[in-house]
Amino acid sequence: MKTLSKTIAAACMIMLSACSQTVTDSSCHGNEVIENIMSRRSIRKYKDGPVSRETMNTILECGINAPNGMNRQSWEVRVVDDPAIMDEIVSLMAAANNEVDPGMVKGCFRGAPTMIFIANDPSYDCSPIDCGLLSENIMLSGWSLGVGSVCLGSPIRFLNNAPEAIARLGFSEGYTPIICIGMGYPDEMPDAKPRDSGKVKFVE
């Protein structure tokens, strides 16, 4: 518990510091939501050990409370935090993508100790949007609890060529993996990358 408290406290300090570097004081001061959004980074180096089930349940509850079309909740989520199961899934993916170096398949998960696989319902055209909103809620709520994350696309390319790996994850028939999120306690704090505000314009 002490370790978790220290991790959360350190994350809060990082968030406050990052916020002051990326937005003006007037837009950030006193707003914890904005501080959390502006300080979050994609994490690709993690400390050993998965995120506790208690913490993950809180994060996942935030995820499924994301906005979604007609409340269809057109997603399914599978969490893998057992290294033996993760190794099994990676092996199935590597076997199905035998033209690719197995190390590349394993490496595409960035060593995150907890993996979240999200599948969408292709019969609903807005399902990818729903899954994106779910994912953002997961990553932001995780960050607020000191848990780092990285949203990954390359594992999905390998996974969708590996029906046995998809079967191991236990998605319902018809659902297709679309997003993978790695989660764990950060072992790095990358600098913010520049954003192009010129891509945002008001229509006059």
pLDDT tens digits, 94-131: 999 999 999 999 999 999 999 999 999 999 999 999 99
Mean residue pLDDT across the chain: 90
| Residue 6 clears pLDDT 90, i.e. is over it | no
Count CB-CB contacts under 10 A for residue 88: 15
34/110 Cα distance (integer angstroms): 27
Both tokens of 132, joined, read 């994106």
| Residue 135 clears pLDDT 80, i.e. is over it | yes
- Kindly give, in sequence order, each residue whose CB lies less than 8 Å from that of residue 117, ignoring residues fewer than 6 positions away: 77, 78, 79, 80, 159, 169, 171, 177, 179, 180
Nearest to 139 by CA among 168, 119, 118, 108: 118
Q: Give the pLDDT of residue 30.
A: 86
- DSSP letters, 135-167, are HHHHHHHHHHTT-EEEEESHHHHHHTT-HHHHH
Predicted model pTM: 0.86
Q: Give the pLDDT of residue 28.
A: 61
97/51 Cα distance (integer angstroms): 29
- 146 sits in the region (left: phi over 0; alpha: psi -120 to 50; else beta) called left
Greater pLDDT, 101 or 5: 101
| Residue 3 clears pLDDT 50, i.e. is over it | no
Q: Which amino acid is at 124?
A: Y
Reduce the DSSP state of residue 58 to 3 states and report it.
Answer: helix
pLDDT tens digits, 8-53: 444 444 444 444 444 444 456 689 999 999 999 999 999 999 999 9
| Residue 91 clears pLDDT 80, i.e. is over it | yes
